[in-house]
Amino acid sequence: MQAIRSRDSIDAGSMKILGISAHYHDSAAALIIDGMPVCAVQEERLSRRKNDAAFPLLAIEWCLQHAGLEPDDLDAVVFYERPMLKFDRILTCALRAFPRSWQTFPEAMKSSLGEKVWVRGTISSYLGVPSRKILFTRHHQSHAAAAFLAAPTDRAAILTTDGVGEWATLTVGHGTRGTNGGTTITLPREVRFPHSLGMLYSAFTAYLGFAINEDEYKVMGLAGYGRPTVVDKVRRLIRQTADGAFALDLDYFEFHSTARRSYSSRFVDLFGPPRLAYEPIDLSSADGQRFADCAASVQCVLEDTLVTLARSLHEETGLSDLCLGGGVALNGLANARILAESGFTRVFVPPAPGDAGCALGAALYADRIHFGSPDRDIPDHPFWGPSVDGMELARIASEDGHPVDRCEDEDVLIGQTADDLAAGRVVGWMDGALELGPRALGHRSILASAAGTEMRDRLNREVKFRDEFRPFAPVVPIEAADRYFEIPAGGARLARFMSAVFRVRPEWRAALGAITHVDGTTRLQALDREMSPRLYALLQAYGQRTGVPVLLNTSFNLSGEPIVNRAVEGYSTFLRCGIDVLVAGQTRVTKKTSEVSRE
Ligand SMILES: [Fe+2]
């Protein structure tokens, strides 16, 4: 990390540090005071532009306002990567690919010069903070810090994997937390661009007709319908190197030389014609099955590669805990296999392992490692964003003439909502502070009965307007999780933030048809009461009514939109889809009789 001029001049006891991630995808800001996160939010949740990569002015403004601070009050502003190193990578790759890159080179230069390189000036001019207060971490240091410093472990091996940061695409190392300072994160080895597991997976994401950096989870969902019949072909694209890492055969890719296409014509020769984005996937057709088999095969190779890396990291460090960071750590199938096969007994994945979480990671890295502040235990939840205002919902819905209940008695509200769910109604559920990260973990969720495939089909058709092959996820009280799901030792921890895919017990697959994927698996959330007491109470009340305390829990957004933040966004979504009931805080809104399309 770049040194500031006078670290002694800062009073470590009241340090206020703002972390920022921006300019790639999922911009975010996070604020820590006295070593503790105070708030964090993704720009997309405020700007309402999905995966907003712009400099996160709205997020920064909200963080400062939330904490009652002026930019002047900040002791440091930390950007989550080193722009000049990133520029170096873009420049080097463009020159290596010349003359093939000559058309894209000016575009890369323009965007890099315009935004990425002059980050210090951007921060300084937007926030009015002196340049000496602006620090930079390395991209994978931010991922590692987000994964390790917020996890409930004192010593752990660390593995970070993503598409690319500056040059690194994967790092391995370990961390130690020190109560009297002395916290360390050591990442002695890395794999460098263009060799990248994230880019390999993204090339298949593009080949299968999905959006890169956004739809990788659709590839994972599609994999459940396929068989890994072309693993040998995928292995031609990636080979293990003598040092236990990996290298891509670049003849099959183009992402390193042009922004226009991820894979080359040789890739197409190997796997056949790509899927066009607007073509539906017909799994009963030969092409549909070929695409599903491709997804299953790249998923298998990704898992094998990560398990091999994690296993050798375990042997090398002798540690029992592993922290996973980077966007690839969103792959729940891979995480489950790492837990099962690498030798680590506990595996931690933060709720926001991707670049949004880097805002928090960068701030924590600066605090613990650059400034040497004492370690603090960080609350083990993802709820760092704006809180929902139930009164706001009551006001808007009343003005529109919708039936509104203001219910001050918590038990009554929970009971009513459980009745709704037991009667097959779909509930939009907004509670407290917004999650950081891509998963709805109980504060901005669409909830529904998990019984029967009809609910899955109804949600796909009337609520989420999305591809049918994508599974929904369940939420269950942690104490009851084992009854319905095959959770291995250490698995409950991964299920805390929906970070792993486990098997639904065979005897429950039919009864939990809405959340059981075609291959019998699901990405469950095992909920601790202390993390989200209201949702926990709702699960119990629902369990009392139906005998099974398992609800379908999907993110509260429509396809192509960010997860809702404020009550007004929840209300707007409620109006535009088949959600029957909307609950925000103590307010419960139902549709007008004329709007209810089905009973
Ligand atoms: Fe990243």
Ligand 1 midpoint to CA 289 (Å): 31
Ligand 1 midpoint to CA 36 (Å): 23
Residue range 98-112: mean pLDDT, rounded: 53
Ligand 1 midpoint to CA 509 (Å): 36
Ligand 1 midpoint to CA 178 (Å): 26
* 8 pLDDT more than 50: no
Ligand 1 midpoint to CA 139 (Å): 6
Ligand 1 midpoint to CA 251 (Å): 24
Q: Decide which of 401 and 349 is more confident.
A: 349
DSSP string for residues in 152-210: S-SEEEEEEE-S-SSSEEEEEEEEE--BTB--EEEEEEEEETT--HHHHHHHHHHHTT-
Ligand 1 midpoint to CA 357 (Å): 9
For residue 549, give both structure tokens.
Answer: 């305390």
For the beta carbon of residue 287, count every other beta carbon within 10 angstroms: 14
* pTM for this entry: 0.92
State the pLDDT at residue 405: 92
Q: Decide which of 455 and 102 is more confident.
A: 455
Backbone angles phi, psi at 429, to 5 degrees: -125, 115
Mean of per-residue pLDDT scores for the chain = 90
Ligand 1 midpoint to CA 169 (Å): 8
Ligand 1 midpoint to CA 326 (Å): 5
pLDDT, tens only, 473-514: 999 999 999 999 999 999 999 999 999 999 999 999 999 999
Ligand 1 midpoint to CA 588 (Å): 39
Q: Is the dihedral of CA 201, 206, 210, 211 positive or negative?
A: positive
Ligand 1 midpoint to CA 13 (Å): 31
Q: What angle do CA 564, 531, 391 make, to 5 degrees?
A: 45
Ligand 1 midpoint to CA 136 (Å): 15
Ligand 1 midpoint to CA 549 (Å): 36
Kind of pairing between the strands at 238-240 and 474-477: unpaired
State the pLDDT at residue 104: 55
Ligand 1 midpoint to CA 362 (Å): 12
Ligand 1 midpoint to CA 270 (Å): 29
State the pLDDT at residue 128: 86
* 9 pLDDT more than 50: no
How far apart are alpha carbons 189 and 359 in whole angstroms?
A: 23
How far apart are alpha carbons 493 and 89 in whole angstroms?
A: 37
Range with top average pLDDT, 112-116, 239-243, 350-354 = 350-354
State the pLDDT at residue 103: 52
Please give the share of the chain, as a percent, with pLDDT higher than 90. Answer: 75
Ligand 1 midpoint to CA 430 (Å): 29
Ligand 1 midpoint to CA 482 (Å): 33
Backbone angles phi, psi at 147, to 5 degrees: -80, -40
Ligand 1 midpoint to CA 422 (Å): 41
Ligand 1 midpoint to CA 356 (Å): 9
State the pLDDT at residue 91: 66
Backbone angles phi, psi at 122, to 5 degrees: -60, -50
CA-based nearest residue to 392, from 157, 585, 131: 585
Q: Is 304 within 8 Å of 214 (Cβ atoms)? A: no
- CB-neighbour burial class of residue 8 (10 A; exposed 0-12, middle 13-18, buried 19+): exposed
State the pLDDT at residue 2: 44
For residue 498, give both structure tokens.
Answer: 């929906």
DSSP string for residues in 399-452: HTT--EEE---HHHHHHHHHHHHHTT--EEEE-SEEESSSS--SSEEEEEE-SS
Ligand 1 midpoint to CA 21 (Å): 10
Ligand 1 midpoint to CA 141 (Å): 10
Residue range 410-428: mean pLDDT, rounded: 97
Ligand 1 midpoint to CA 212 (Å): 13
* 5 pLDDT more than 80: no
* 19 pLDDT more than 60: yes
How far apart are alpha carbons 44 and 51 in whole angstroms?
A: 6
| Cis ω for the linkage preceding 194 (within 30 of 0) | yes
Ligand 1 midpoint to CA 354 (Å): 6
State the pLDDT at residue 96: 64
Ligand 1 midpoint to CA 355 (Å): 5
Q: Is 382 within 8 Å of 435 (Cβ atoms)? A: yes
Ligand 1 midpoint to CA 112 (Å): 17
Give the lowest-confidence range in 97-101, 178-182, 564-568. Answer: 97-101
Q: Decide which of 488 and 93 is more confident.
A: 488
* 598 pLDDT more than 60: no
* 538 pLDDT more than 80: yes
* 548 pLDDT more than 60: yes
